[in-house]
Amino acid sequence: METLLELEGVCKNYPSFTLRDVGFTVPEGSIMGLIGENGAGKSTTIRLILNEIRRDGGSIRIFEKDNIKDEVSVKEQIGVVFDESCFSGEFRAKDVDLILKRVFKAWDRDLYRRYLRDFSLPPEKKIKEYSRGMRMKLGIAAALAHRPRLLILDEATSGLDPVMRSDILDLLLDFIQDEHCGILFSSHITSDLERVADYVTFLHEGQVVFSRAKDELEEHLGLLKCGASQLDKLDSSDFLRVRRGSFECEALVADRAAAKRKYPELVIDAAPLDEIMLLYAKGENS
C-alpha cells in the first residue's frame, strides 16, 4: 500500500506560535482526521502541505514526491476544500468550470456537471447567492472534478447543519471506495471524525500528541472519573492528563484494560475524542 502523504519533523515558526516536529502519514484508502483546538496549528499544517507558506524544517512527501520540488505535478492530483469558498462571489458555478478546465489537465466537465446536479447547485446563480452549505458543496464538486487521489479538507463541515454534514461525510466515504485515494480532513467536530476517520492525528499547541488508528484509540485509551480525594490516592503515573473539577475529576489513561484491572472499583470508559481534546486543552499533566 502506497503512502499518499507523509510529514516528518515539520516545523514552522511564527512570532507567537511554533509548529514543532509534526509528523504523520496518510495511507491509500484511508481518511486521516486532524483534530485540535482553535489555534492548535491545523490550518498551518495544511498550508505547509500545499506549500502556501514556507516551512522552517522537516519534510513533506506527497505520492512519495517532494511537495515543493514536485509541486506542479503533485497538485494536479490533490483536491482542496477550505472552510470558505475560494471563488469570487460574482462567479457562477459554470464560470468555475471554465476556469478550472484550464488549470487541471484531468478536469472532467461531465463529472463536475453531474455533481452540480446531484448537489442541486444552479450553474447560472452567482456564488454569493448560494447558502454556506451550497458554497461548501460547490467547493467539494470543484475539488473532486479533476479526479484527485488526495483530498484535503480544512474545516469543511463546520457551520453546516447535521443533514448537510452527513451528506458530505457520505460523499467522503464514497470517495475512498477507490482504494488508491485518501483524505486528510481537519475538523474540530469530533463526532464527524469519529464517524468517518480511520486514523486520527491530534495537534495540541503546535505539536502532535498522537497519530494513531481510531480503532486503536477507542480500544486502548480510557477515561476515569472519580472524586478529588479518591484521585489523590491513585497512582498518578497511570494518567496522561488529569482535570480536577469541584465535584468530579477526570483522568485519561493510556491503557484502559490495565487501569480496569488495577482499579476494579472505578468506572473507566472508552475516551471520546472531544473528552481527549478537553483534557489536553483544560487539564494538567498528572
Ligand X SMILES: Nc1ncnc2c1ncn2[C@@H]1O[C@H](COP(=O)(O)OP(=O)(O)OP(=O)(O)O)[C@@H](O)[C@H]1O
Distance CA 212, CA 214 (A): 6
Please give the Cα distance from 75 to 81 (Å, whole number).
13
Closest contact distance (angstroms) between CB of 106 and ligand X is 29
Site residues (vs ligand X, CB under 6 A): 14, 17, 36, 38-44, 188
Q: Which residues pair with 188 in a beta bridge?
A: none
When the beta carbons of 189 and 221 are compared against ligand X, the nearer one is: 189
CB of 285 to ligand X, least distance (A): 21
CB half-sphere exposure, 253, CA atoms < 13 A: 28
- Shortest Å, Cβ 281 to ligand X: 12
38 or 177: CB nearest ligand X: 38
Q: Residue 168, SS3?
A: helix
Q: Fill in the DSSP letter of residue 92.
A: B
| Contact predicate 121/136, CB 8 Å | no
Closest CB 278 distance from ligand X, rounded Å: 15
Q: Which CB sits closer to ligand X, 151 or 176?
A: 151
Q: How far is the CB of 179 from ligand X (least distance, A)?
A: 29
Q: How far is the CB of 273 from ligand X (least distance, A)?
A: 14
- Alpha-carbon distance of 244 to 13, in angstroms, equals 33
Backbone angles phi, psi at 141, to 5 degrees: -60, -45
Complex with ligand X: residue 83 or 97, whichever CB lies closer: 83
Q: Which is nearer to ligand X, 38 or 285 (CB)?
A: 38
Q: Which residue number, 135 or 149, has a Cβ lying nearer to ligand X?
A: 135
With beta carbons less than 8 A apart as the criterion, state whether 196 and 11 touch: no
Cell of 262: 488495577
241 Ramachandran zone, left/alpha/beta (phi>0; psi -120 to 50): beta
